[in-house]
A and B are shown apart, each in its own frame.
Chain A
């Protein structure tokens, strides 16, 4: 049984008082707050052993190498990867998605499938890959409640399909896709699946082996880790066959010079995807973040968030001027709710009002999901409001949020 108040105290940003009020942080789907454990681990690297990993043979270098390697192991455990070498450090989930979209080998005349619900980072790299190599691209349309009809996937995935990019949990509707079913259909028909787990991994137990997904993209900054860090998980067979994206230091086992020519011999994954000096502090922070979340328990975190979401949804659904985007079935949702209020001219008014009057931090805009906003007839410029919950939020946060919305409606009606 977790002590959620104690957990909340791990996050120093929540100790801030702004304009005499505490912070109600409901923007974790964009950026999660950082616990002391992560901050301390990164500070320790910078203060005690700020050296290059895998290169320098002195004590600092040895400690940096060990910490960097241990971090990968912690992360592999977090997603249950078969081997830690299947986890590549990247800058963010966007980079992870781009690496696969640009470098995975596809037969000529393939079909790539993505969806209307994707974050731009989950669709655009694949749209561009199709354009680059003359592949066909097909879009599976999400239902208006943000769910997918599995029959649409059965129709779309055919023998020509070689690659699928699908968002596991939507950053707009919070709906969780039936990933395992999609993967099974894809594998039956010879296709591989890239899952955008930027929103899923921080909030649910992710087991890449059990789902049997081929690739997964994860944002570390959304899971209590540092910014500028992401992970690309890939099955070793795929990582080995993929082209490299960046060449240079740390990617080679040897670089010979013979007959006035240079002959490189490249290392296997993960090194072949991690050229140049790495973000050691970031990786160390990522490992600690993974360990921190696991120590609390991903099932517990999921349950906690859903209890807050249930509370928020129940009241929001009762409010006359609030229009919720996506399903209200919390059993297939990540802990976020996206909505509009029809008494104001733009979602940005809601975010500005809540911030200025109540210190409630939510996100307004199109959430880098233009296609779904257009599909739903929502002008992306006026946008939608997203409130997202995480392990450090509590019922009081939900109460203040609802009070803020009620006050906004009263004052703007």
Chain B
């Protein structure tokens, strides 16, 4: 976990506490007080989504496109 960037850790932490979220929902949660320490550069959103995509590549989370856009969730073991 510590090898991951703060953005990556933030995405993992958020999805660990929620079931499945849209991109907009993740970004909104990321900027709340609870994640202030981890979410360091989420204002523009693009680096944050790039971090989420990195986790998909590594098989740690999944994303699915459908009504409302992408939904992200932790990979079920």
Partner pick for A343 among B31, B43, B44, B69, CB 8 A cutoff = B69
Q: Are B22 and A345 in contact (CB under 8 A)?
A: yes
A366 contacts the other chain (CB 8 A): yes
A13 contacts the other chain (CB 8 A): no
Q: Are A349 and B69 in contact (CB under 8 A)?
A: yes
Q: Are A412 and B44 in contact (CB under 8 A)?
A: no
Partner pick for A366 among B23, B28, B44, B70, CB 8 A cutoff = B44
Distance to closest chain A CB from B11 (angstroms):
12
Question: In the assembly, what is the distance between CA of A215 and CA of B24, in Å?
Answer: 40
User: What is the interface of chain B mostly: helix, strand, loop, or mixed?
Assistant: mixed
Q: Are A344 and B44 in contact (CB under 8 A)?
A: no
A73 contacts the other chain (CB 8 A): no
Q: Which of B10-52 contact A (CB under 8 A)?
A: 22-25, 27-28, 31, 42-46, 49
Q: Which of A301-348 contact B (CB under 8 A)?
A: 343-348
The answer to whether A366 and B45 touch (CB under 8 A), given A346-B69, A349-B23, A412-B65, is yes
Cβ contacts under 8 Å, B25 to chain A: 345
The answer to whether A412 and B46 touch (CB under 8 A), given A345-B22, A346-B27, is no
B66 contacts the other chain (CB 8 A): yes
Count of inter-chain pairs, beta carbons less than 8 A: 74
Given contacts A347-B45, A366-B45, A368-B44, 18 further A-B contacts (CB under 8 A): A345-B68, A348-B45, A348-B46, A352-B70, A353-B69, A364-B46, A364-B49, A365-B44, A365-B45, A366-B44, A370-B43, A380-B44, A381-B28, A382-B24, A383-B45, A412-B65, A412-B68, A413-B67
Q: Are B24 and A411 in contact (CB under 8 A)?
A: no
B interface, size bucket: 20 to 34
B62 contacts the other chain (CB 8 A): no
Most B Cβ at <10 Å: residue of A353, A380, A381:
A381
Q: Are A346 and B66 in contact (CB under 8 A)?
A: no
Partner pick for B45 among A343, A364, A411, A413, CB 8 A cutoff = A364
- Closest residue of A by beta carbon distance from B24: A345
B9 contacts the other chain (CB 8 A): no
Q: Are B44 and A383 in contact (CB under 8 A)?
A: yes
Partner pick for A412 among B24, B31, B69, CB 8 A cutoff = B69
Cβ contacts under 8 Å, B66 to chain A: 411-412
Question: In the assembly, what is the distance between CA of A380 and CA of B45, in Å?
Answer: 8
Most B Cβ at <10 Å: residue of A345, A368, A411, A412:
A345
- Closest residue of B by beta carbon distance from A365: B46
Question: In the assembly, what is the distance between CA of A297 and CA of B52, in Å?
Answer: 42
Q: Are B65 and A380 in contact (CB under 8 A)?
A: no
Can you give 8 A-B contacts (C-beta < 8 A)?
A344-B70, A345-B69, A346-B45, A346-B49, A348-B49, A365-B46, A381-B43, A411-B65
Distance to closest chain A CB from B33 (angstroms):
15
Question: In the assembly, what is the distance between CA of A49 and CA of B53, in Å?
Answer: 42
Distance to closest chain A CB from B68 (angstroms):
6
Distance to closest chain B CB from A360 (angstroms):
15
